[in-house]
Structures are given as structure tokens and as C-alpha cells.
Amino acid sequence: MSNIYDFSLSYSLVKRHVIFTFKRFFSDYIITGRENLPPEGPVIFAPNHLNALMDALAAISVLPHKTPIVFLGRADLFNNETAAKVLRFSKIMPAFRMRDGAANLEKNHGIFELCVDVLNHNKALGIMPEGNQGGFRRLRPLVKGIFRIAFSAQEKYGLQPGVKIVPIGIDYGDLVKFRKHIIVNIGKPIEVSDYMAEYNENPVNATNQIRERLSKDICDLTLNLATENHYDCFETATEVANTAVVKELQMPDKTLFRFKARQKIAERLVALENEEPEKIEKLETLCTTYKENLNKLNLHSWLLEKKQYKMGTLLLTGLMLLCTFPIFLVGFLLNMLPFYSPLLIRKALKITYPGGLSSVHLVFSLVTFPVFYLLQAIVIFNKIKAAWWIIILFFPMQYLLGKFAFQWYRKFKKLRIKFGYRKLEKQKSPVLEQTKLLHDQIIEMVQARA
């Protein structure tokens, strides 16, 4: 049997299809820090773990095509024989946790040895240093396994440069919704050799030092709402103040800079909680009431960033949507089956955890879209007896029309919400007026920490 880190033609073809689909799952696919990718040698890629399979694919997608990464995954996923074969083909090895039984933890010794073997053959390894998946946008304590593997593999090189750990910070526009952004920030490699001398003297100290370094680096690369007691408050305040802080920092209103502004807001909120806890309690009250009001009004926070929505502009947008409705309808009908089939499968499997929904949707979309596109192309071919080259063009046209249909629907939803907002303004809704005031007060408190 071939080694798990070997690169094969079949793996190459599947990987191309998976990464192609993965990138199109998002509206914006942004990578920073490509220059930090080591050109060769034993490397451990260490991303934050927030969104199941998506996190691994994010790391894989930034590497050259012929550079595979061997990942560790939950051992219970390997219980089914067919699933185990698929996972091995995907270059994933099992990692056992306490919930898998104390007896199974001993199996990790063999798995760790295989990880060291991957690195000793100058191949790449992917390990989620938090150990398991989290449900919040904050970095959790890092487990020791990644460092145990790194130091064991570094023994081959002694005090000379060898094994590197590359921190990766991943930010998602949404953990569930389709066509939101993804930002993959690649940090500077950590040379394990820098900690090897200390490791030879005191393994515990060396492990703590490199763990602290990796934790800090990942925090700098992602959105870290580092609070235990005020997470919902932090999340709301970050959303509300995002545009205002982008302007305050004089940055372009683009996805990457909005992310940087959210990082800055998170830093301010952490400082506020540590230094002025009474103010964070006040902010908590403001954010809670603000969210309750938005739910009552069925509105979204982004609406309040603009003070007025002119009727003429809204009517013009509505006219444009009306004129393009036939294109939307064609795109919707052609993409209805491939898009909604994964949703039905997801519901049948009773998967509800937010951090796994988009991963499941993507996995099934890898099959449903090409299969349905092909079947629909064949049906059209048989119905209209078109030339073969028209059918070839029709295949990608289904995707383009589907993308248009999705964007059309999003604009339609936003237009409907804006009309609802104008109606509330015309009625002089006291709840809306209070919500506007809360919105401004939240921004003032965030900007006061500048």
C-alpha cells in the first residue's frame, strides 16, 4: 500500500475539483501572506478550527497543487469502513480523544509516529492546534499534541533549522450561509529549532514557550473575541461599529480592511473589559436591547449604517430586478435541484451544529452540481437537438446563471427589507428610533477606546 503522503493522479483530479468548488462557495476568497509559505521541507500547518472540513480545505487551497497536506481528523469518522477509505484517500488520519475511550488514546502513539514519518519525508502536515472545533470566534487553549510531534520530528535536525510550524488564521463571513467571504491569513513560520535547546533541557518549558508563540500568532491572524462572559456583546459591537471604525482608520471599504477593523474593535473591547468592567456591563445592556429591537422589527444591523434610503433609488432597483426577473427564473430553475439537494440531505442527517453545516453542504455539492448539470445538459440536447458545442457551452452557463440568480435574490431580499425600514420610519416607530440611538451609542463606546 502506498504511503498516505504520496501524490497520485486520482488525488490530483479530485483535489482540483474540490478546491475549485470550495473557492466558489464564497463571494470573496482572499489570501494574505503567501510569501510566508516555506518552499520546501517538513512543515506543520496550524489553522484555527471554527468550521469543520472548511478549515482544512482553506489550508489546502493556499498551497501549490502538487503539495498535499496530511491532516488529522476525529477518530469516530473512521468507524465506517467506506468512510475510512475515503478519508485515507483524502490524506486524513484518525486522532483519538478522551470521548473515544481511554483505551483508544494509546492508539495515538502510533498515529503520532506516522505524523513524524510524514515530516521526516519532507512532507506537509495539517493539525488543528485547538484540538477540536469551537463554536465561537475566539481562539481556545492549544493542545500539546502538535508540539510533541514537532519536537519529535525536529530531533532529526538537532539545533539546525528543520521543522516549521506555519500559523494560519481563517475568517468566515458566516459559518453557515453560502456566498459569504473567507479570508485566509498565513503567518510567518515558527522554526522549531529555535526551541530545541530548551526542549533538550526542559521539555515542559519549551512546549509552553512555543505554544504561547503559536497562540499569539494565530490570534493576530484571525478575529479573536477573547471574552468568556460577554461574547454576544462583543459580537454585536463588532458588527455595529465595523463601518465606523473602517472610516476612523481611513481604510478602504473592502472585505479585508473591514476584517482588520473588526480585529481592532475586538482589541478595544478586550481592553475595555479588563480595565473598565463597569463600562463593558453598560455596553452589554446596550447590545442586548439593540439585538432584541432588531428582532422585533425584523431588521438587520447594516440598515442603520445609512441614515436614509431614497424612494427613487429603491424604485429604480425594483425596476431593474423586474426587468431581469426572467434571467433569474432560468438560473433558479437550472440550479434548484443541485443547490437544494444538499440542504435536504443535511436535514435528513439531522446536522444542526453551525460549524458543520457548510462543510456538509459543500461535500454533497461536489456531486450534485456536476451530476445535475450534466443530466440537464443531456435533456436539453435531446429536446432541441442542438450541436455538441452548444451543449458544452450550456454546462458552464448553468453555473453563471445560477450565480446571477443568487445575487438577484439577495438584492431582492435587501430591497424588501429597505422598504420595510422606510415604512417604519414613516410610521415614526418608537422602537426604531430607540434602536438608532442604541446603534450610535455602541459606536461611541467603541470609538472612545481609540
**Residues 236-274: pLDDT tens digits?**
999 999 999 999 999 999 999 999 999 999 999 999 999
Judged by DSSP in three states, 303 sits in helix
Examine the domain organization and report whether 151 and 18 are in the same domain: yes
In a domain, 441, yes or no: no
Q: Which CATH number do you get for residue 217? A: 3.40.1130.10
Residues in the chain, pLDDT under 50: none
In a domain, 450, yes or no: no
Structural domain ending residue among the three candidates 221, 244, 278: 221
What was the pLDDT predicted at 168? 98
How is residue 107 written as a grid cell? 492508539
What was the pLDDT predicted at 318? 98
Are 99 and 36 in contact, with CB atoms under 8 Å apart? Answer: no
Examine the domain organization and report whether 289 and 381 are in the same domain: no
In a domain, 277, yes or no: yes
19 in the Ramachandran plot: left (φ > 0), alpha (ψ -120 to 50) or beta? alpha
Number of domains in the chain: 3
Are 23 and 80 in contact, with CB atoms under 8 Å apart? Answer: no
Per DSSP, helices labelled H in 137-230 are: 145-154, 196-201, 203-221
Task: For residue range 188-229, list pLDDT tens digits in order.
Answer: 999 999 999 999 999 999 999 999 999 999 999 999 999 999
Torsion angle of C-alpha atoms 269, 275, 281, 286, degrees rounded to 10: -40
Examine the domain organization and report whether 238 and 383 are in the same domain: no
In a domain, 174, yes or no: yes
Domain that holds residue 357: 311-435
How is residue 141 written as a grid cell? 487553549
Side-chain-side CA neighbours of 362 within 13 Å: the count stands at 28
What was the pLDDT predicted at 390? 73
In a domain, 182, yes or no: yes
What was the pLDDT predicted at 121? 94
What was the pLDDT predicted at 213? 98
Measured CA to CA, the distance from residue 274 to residue 270 in angstroms comes to 6
What was the pLDDT predicted at 386? 65
User: How is 96-117 classified by DSSP, letter by letter?
Assistant: --GGG-GGGGGHHHHHHHHHHH
Task: For residue range 318-353, list pLDDT tens digits in order.
Answer: 999 999 999 999 999 999 999 999 988 888 888 777
Examine the domain organization and report whether 159 and 54 are in the same domain: yes
Are 448 and 241 in contact, with CB atoms under 8 Å apart? Answer: no
pTM assigned to the model: 0.93
In a domain, 394, yes or no: yes
Examine the domain organization and report whether 20 and 130 are in the same domain: yes
**Going by C-beta distance under 8 Å and a sequence separation of 6 or more, which residues neighbour residue 98?**
105
Examine the domain organization and report whether 52 and 181 are in the same domain: yes
Examine the domain organization and report whether 59 and 106 are in the same domain: yes
Examine the domain organization and report whether 323 and 271 are in the same domain: no
Torsion angle of C-alpha atoms 219, 215, 28, 64, degrees rounded to 10: 150
What was the pLDDT predicted at 282? 97
What was the pLDDT predicted at 131? 87
